[in-house]
């Protein structure tokens, strides 16, 4: 299966900017951005982020408020602060052997950086990779990581896989199956997540928000600081 997958990837690989570097910082930025955001939205923001903060040191020295402003629109703003905290840790002490020691870096992200930046023989298993392995019943090698991600994202889809276009279909026990729709996230419009986002956007713009519940939640996450009755951007 590995050979078939590699041949398919040679003709169908997505052209993504983070695949053109082995810089662990750039790889970390891409992986953190991709955690809960679609690839199409991440690409331009990734390019803009690295143009502004091209190195670990540059991000480490940035104002937290500027980092949050640059992150606006990507969602889950704690990721931005954790990314900067990780950059500061690396800027001070270098890349640790155990990357999960960095703020906001879990097992998958650590494996991705180890593979794509440092060349370690570890397979980062995101949702797409796990789906392909579970359906085929095959365990793939670390060198197939990018191919598996592309296959899962474009062919081995969650609900209605495109088995006719899959290079592994001939040997896949799940070929031709259809799946129940996954539980969808509750709508953003009108949600508390939207209230938090609106409050943070107003505060970062130098204005004010009167949504006390949203401000309290932002403060608990370290996204704003409150002095007296005033909420402001983090230092």
Q: pLDDT, tens digit, for every residue of 144-183?
A: 999 999 999 999 999 999 999 999 999 999 999 888 766 6
Ranges of the chain whose pLDDT falls below 70:
181-185
Q: What is the pLDDT of residue 180?
A: 76
pLDDT for residue 36? 86
Note if 31 is an active site residue. Answer: yes
pLDDT at site 91: 98
- Please tell me the predicted confidence (pLDDT) of residue 202: 92
Single pTM value for the model? 0.89
Structure token digits, residue 47 = 């390019």
Plot region of 106 (φ>0 → left; ψ -120 to 50 → alpha; else → beta): beta
Q: Of the listed 31, 189, 212, 227, which one is catalytic?
A: 31
pLDDT at residue 152, as a whole number: 97
Q: For the chain, give the longest Cα–Cα distance.
A: 66
Q: Please tell me the predicted confidence (pLDDT) of residue 184.
A: 67
Q: What is the pLDDT of residue 183?
A: 65
Delineate the domains of the chain, giving CATH numbers in brackets. Answer: 23-116 (1.10.340.30), 192-232 (no CATH)
């Amino acid at each position: 299966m590995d050979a078939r997958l590699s041949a398919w990837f040679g003709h169908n690989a997505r052209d993504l900017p983070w695949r053109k570097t082995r810089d662990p910082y750039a790889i970390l930025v891409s992986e953190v951005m991709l955690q809960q955001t679609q690839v199409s939205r991440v690409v331009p923001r990734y390019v803009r982020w690295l143009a502004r903060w091209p190195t670990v040191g540059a991000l480490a020295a940035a104002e937290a408020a500027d980092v949050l402003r640059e992150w606006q629109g990507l969602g889950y703003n704690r990721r931005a602060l954790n990314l900067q905290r990780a950059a500061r840790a690396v800027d001070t002490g270098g890349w640790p052997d155990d990357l999960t020691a960095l703020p906001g870096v879990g097992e998958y992200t650590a494996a991705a950086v180890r593979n794509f930046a440092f060349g370690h023989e570890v397979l980062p298993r995101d949702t797409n990779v796990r789906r392909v392995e579970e359906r085929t019943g095959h365990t793939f090698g670390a060198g197939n990581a990018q191919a598996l991600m592309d296959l899962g994202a474009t062919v081995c889809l969650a609900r209605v896989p495109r088995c006719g276009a899959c290079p592994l279909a001939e040997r896949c026990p799940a070929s031709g199956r259809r799946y129940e729709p996954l539980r969808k996230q509750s709508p953003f419009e009108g949600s508390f997540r939207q209230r938090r986002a609106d409050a943070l956007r107003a505060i970062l713009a130098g204005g004010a928000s009167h949504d006390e519940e949203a401000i309290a939640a932002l403060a608990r996450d370290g996204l704003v600081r409150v002095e007296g009755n005033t909420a402001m951007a983090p230092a």
